[in-house]
Structure 1
């Protein structure tokens, strides 16, 4: 599968998360309630599970230290070494809300990078519940919000 197709999948997955968050679907104690901030590892586990289950695309999770914000960041990488990141916009600067592509720019600035398997979300009820919420919005399609509200929410994120 090419980068354009992966981008579309990632974009729609993110839109489903945004719609669920906007509609108050995530528990306020759940990290997904603050999407995209502070939940990049959970988001990777959720998207990685979706990519494998629906498309048989294997990904691993990469974690690196972002010096400019003194925090860690997580993103997915395919076996073909394509990065998939739908939470980069939690940071300032050149980060995009959805990035699918090669390891360039901001990703080369990260240090202490480790690669690990994605967590099996079926082993934790919180993540499994989040996944099923997201699936519900994916099944509804992209237009889960009125277009004016949808555009406003995406600008805020």
Structure 2
């Protein structure tokens, strides 16, 4: 769990230093992380985790969450029963007190959503079910940008 936590923290720190203009073609190109990019950033994180020995993270799509089911949707990962969320703090402006990163077997905030497993989260696998090669190329470019930032941190 220590290595997993290290990798997730590393990834989140890299994402925080990037701006929408650093990306192309995904929600990351129009929203400042962590705002409104939970799906795309989760798929990129899943690729990073897979490349570092943590494969098979599932993409979890949540609906109708929050205090009064006022949060329409949210996306995070589940890896062998552990929830991993790097964007839940985007909801703090609505009165939540979420940490920047959630890594837990149970989390009250995430449990408030009606959750659905959407399969393997790594964009290199996940997108093949849904999209055009152009979107896959955009994600590949975004992932390369994040990796460059991670390598720059040394």
TM-score interval (norm. to shorter): 0.7 to 0.9
> What corresponds to 2:88 in structure 1?
88
Q: State the SS of the aligned residue for 1:49.
A: helix
1:7 and 1:99 in contact (8 A); partners too: no
Question: 1:25 corresponds to which residue?
Answer: 22
- Report what 1:153 is aligned to: none
Cα distance in structure 1, aligned partners of 2:54 and 2:89: 27
Alpha-carbon spacing, 1:126–1:48, altered in 2? closer, same or farther (3 Å): same
**Aligned counterparts, 1:1-157, within 5 A:** 2=1, 4-21=2-19, 24-27=21-24, 30-33=26-29, 34=31, 35-65=33-63, 66-67=65-66, 68-79=69-80, 81-92=81-92, 93-111=96-114, 113-117=115-119, 118=121, 119-120=123-124, 123=133, 124-141=136-153
Q: Distance in 2 between matches of 1:104 and 1:15?
A: 22
TM-score of the pair, normalised by structure 1: 0.77
Q: How much has 1:133 moved relative to structure 2?
A: 0.1
Task: Please give the alpha-carbon distance, in whole angstroms, between the structure 2 residues aligned to 1:47 and 1:40.
Answer: 10
TM-score, with normalisation over the residues of structure 2? 0.78
Q: CA deviation at 1:135?
A: 0.2
Give the CA RMSD over aligned residues.
2.1
